[in-house]
Chain A
């Protein structure tokens, strides 16, 4: 079983819909990152979380340390949000970095 699991693997939605991507992990962590990767490979860091909730524009990320779970929400989704979203954690035991397999999001106009 992977130490970091994301769901769903693929998601297609209509423009304007509220999007939720989930990340569950099974290890103790120091921090969790949400990354966005567009076709062509470039990766952008969206959030770094160790507790609570963060908001940036239409994006909201939450983390529940006790439940070992994080969510990334996109409000009023837009076709330009189409990308792969990757959850990654830094393990607090040995500082290793583990990535989820990613969620491929496609927003239809």
Chain B
């Protein structure tokens, strides 16, 4: 079975631009979660999608949004990029439950640099 894939792996943007990251879960997995990792804040939970619906959300501003498609693939979007958005963005998939109910399978991440 193929693992979780994320595209692109690396991305450079400038302040004020917007960016869209993509995550393809393991086949059969219906839950996709997104996380941000920075040296200063560590790992932080962004949001979780299940069956095309946002099921859980962390404490991030509205510039961070996401969606999930009927094939369980998910995208996250960051609008009006700020320097502080530079981070490793990770997605994880699980069969059905969220973080508290199922093992999470992580993708390799997308490293975003905002200049």
Contacts and interface: CB of A to CB of B under 8 A. Distances in A.
Interface of A: 29-31, 33, 35, 41-45, 48, 86, 88, 90, 92, 95-102
A interface secondary structure, majority: strand
Interface residues of B, number: 22
Contacts of A102: 42
B interface secondary structure, majority: strand
A38 B27 CA distance: 25
A90 B99 contact: yes
Interface of B: 37, 42-45, 56, 58, 88, 90, 92, 98-106, 108-109, 111
Contacts of B111: 41
Contacts of B92: 43
Residue among A29, A95, A101 facing the most chain B CB atoms (10 A cut-off): A95
A44 B106 contact: yes
Residue among A86, A99, A100, A102 facing the most chain B CB atoms (10 A cut-off): A99
A90 B100 contact: yes
B103 A45 contact: yes
Contacts of B101: 30-31
